[in-house]
Amino acid sequence: WQGIALGRDRAADCIDMAAIALGTDRDGLAAAPALLTIVNTNTPLTLDIPMAEGLIELAGAGQAVCVTPFTLAGAMAPATLAGALALQNAEMLAVGTLIQLVRPGAPMMYGSFTSNVDMRSGSPAFGTPEDTKAAQASGQLARRYGLPFRSSNTTTSNAVDAQAAYESAMSLWGAVMGGANLVNHAAGWLEGGLTASFEKLIIDAEMLQMMASYLQPIEVDDASLGLEAIGAVGPGGHFFGSPHTLERYEHAFYSPLVSDWRNFETWAESGSPDTTERAHRIWRRLLDESVSPTLDAAIDDELVEFVAHRKEVLSR
């Protein structure tokens, strides 16, 4: 679960609620961390008080902290990737030192959110080539320090359109090439994170699945080489009815969630739905078919009681 590091009280509430939900206490959570919090610096070279307090509370309880400087080259960082990454790295090391001072050995991650601004307007830009290269370099830095690496799937597009797709693809390639252990904001992002979209979430899920499939190594053995099948089919034949194909056809290749692989005539006869329309139908169906996760009644009651108590305390 992702805890919030905005002030000591909020962080403490996250810890206590996680302990209740898991039927344990703070000692149990420290032994088996269940919370991850994202701590952003206020670049350049600033960690604000609420973030620092939340970090101290969560790290002190043995929960994982992902240090992610919000480094925008050209605005809060130098207008070069080398300079922006140097600043990002310095801030990560400084906050990481604080985490280890609070609780030596506390789990932590190296987070990257380095991108650039549009120099024509000063607006943040995401899914850019600079964003991609920064993520790849950040993954190398994380491995240098022996830390797991966090990246993101971002776009500046205001709509679920081609721009959203190619910027997200660039962003995800940065995460993949950087060897990210966590892709935060993995699905649904629009407008630089100011808005979210169900359709974008489904399309992002497709891209994430495709990336995951791409990362699987090619299987090479006697069976997969299919030399006997090649010999049996011979020149000018086809493999549709080959026993080698029939044994594998159900799981031979990646099966798409959103992509439409039909020919033009079949697609047109079905109403010519584009990617966004298909994604809309999918999330509607998933929402209609969704079932609320079960929660032990005693735990549910304890959480409700905890929330009511905290509301009463905070209202004084």
**pLDDT > 70: what percent of the chain?**
100
Which tokens go with 31? 């032994």
Residue 3 confidence (pLDDT): 93
> Domain ranges in the chain?
2-216, 222-281
Which pTM value belongs to this model?
0.93
**In angstroms, rounded to a whole number, what is the distance separating the alpha carbons of residues 190 and 126?**
10
Residue 195 DSSP label:
E
Give the CA-trace dihedral at 204, 92, 114, 197, to 10 degrees: 30
What are the pLDDT digits (tens) for 190-235? 999 999 999 999 999 999 999 999 999 999 999 999 999 999 999 9
End-to-end CA distance of the chain: 29
Number of H helices, E strands in the chain: 13, 11
Helix (H, G, I), strand (E, B) or coil at 110: strand
Q: For the beta carbon of residue 314, count every other beta carbon within 10 angstroms.
A: 9
**In angstroms, rounded to a whole number, what is the distance separating the alpha carbons of residues 153 and 97?**
27
Could you list the pLDDT tens digit for every one of the 316 residues in the chain? 999 999 999 999 999 999 999 999 999 999 999 999 999 999 999 999 999 999 999 999 999 999 999 999 999 999 999 999 999 999 999 999 999 999 999 999 999 999 999 999 999 999 999 999 999 999 999 999 999 999 999 999 999 999 999 999 999 999 999 999 999 999 999 999 999 999 999 999 999 999 999 999 999 999 999 999 999 999 999 999 999 999 999 999 999 999 999 999 999 999 999 999 999 999 999 999 999 999 999 999 999 999 999 999 999 8
Residue 179 confidence (pLDDT): 98
Crossing angle of helices 129-144 and 162-177, rounded to 10°: 20
Helix (H, G, I), strand (E, B) or coil at 109: strand
With tokens 């609780």, the residue in question is 103
Residue 267 confidence (pLDDT): 98
Write down the architecture of domain 2-216 according to CATH: Alpha-Beta Barrel (3.20)
CB 54 within 8 A of CB 37: yes
Which tokens go with 58? 């969560």
What are the pLDDT digits (tens) for 70-102? 999 999 999 999 999 999 999 999 999 999 999
Nearest to 11 by CA among 59, 82, 45: 59
